[in-house]
């Protein structure tokens, strides 16, 4: 169902909304430059340790409904992506970056933070696995069961 979905951290201090179209997934064709219709699970140490399940949305499809001062910011590696988290409860609700390959500004929503997506719809989301641990994100890691 295409619509606006709200998400939040554990304590509710961080709230956002994003426009996504769940039933249209998966699309008929996919290329690495077209990341938006998929969800991702990555084996990098950040995603593995936080159990981060990503859904990329373009900047126009994301609205932060929280004051910026409620958010902490964590960067690592090339420091291109800002991993945003709640300063009160610590939940990593989304990340923001700006990369040409992603079409400019994007947001990586933590699917687990979406509040109003029914469990049946979550089960239907297509998942692509990324080998971020070896900076080879266009390849599936050898083991994915723990992700």
Query: What are the chain's domains?
Result: 2-18+34-134 (2.170.150.70)
Instruction: Look at residues 47, 59, 28 and name the one whose alpha carbon lies nearest to residue 112.
Output: 47
CB 4 within 8 A of CB 107: no
d(CA 34, CA 56): 10
Beta bridge partners of 5: 18
Beta strands in 29-91 (DSSP E): 39-42, 53-58, 62-64, 71-74, 82-86
d(CA 116, CA 132): 29
pLDDT at 32: 46
Q: Tens of pLDDT along 41-88?
A: 999 999 999 999 999 889 999 999 999 999 999 999 889 999 999 999
pLDDT at 30: 47
Helix (H) or strand (E) holding 99: strand 92-99
pLDDT class for 37, splitting at 50, 70, 90?
low
89's CB contacts (< 8 A; 6+ apart) are 9, 10, 11, 13
């Amino acid at each position: 169902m295409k619509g606006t979905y709200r998400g939040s951290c554990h304590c509710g201090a961080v709230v956002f909304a994003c426009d996504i179209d769940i039933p249209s997934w998966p699309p008929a064709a996919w290329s690495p430059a077209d990341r938006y219709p998929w969800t991702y699970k990555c084996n990098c140490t950040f995603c593995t340790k936080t159990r981060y399940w990503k859904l990329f949305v373009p900047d126009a499809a994301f609205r932060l409904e929280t004051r910026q001062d409620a958010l902490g910011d964590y960067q690592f590696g090339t420091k291109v992506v800002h991993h945003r988290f709640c300063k009160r409860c610590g939940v990593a609700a989304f990340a923001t970056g700006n990369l040409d390959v992603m079409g400019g500004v994007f947001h990586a929503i933590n699917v687990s933070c979406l509040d109003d997506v029914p469990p049946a719809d979550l089960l239907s989301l297509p998942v692509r696995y990324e080998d971020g641990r070896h900076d080879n994100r266009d390849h599936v890691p050898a083991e994915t069961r723990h992700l």
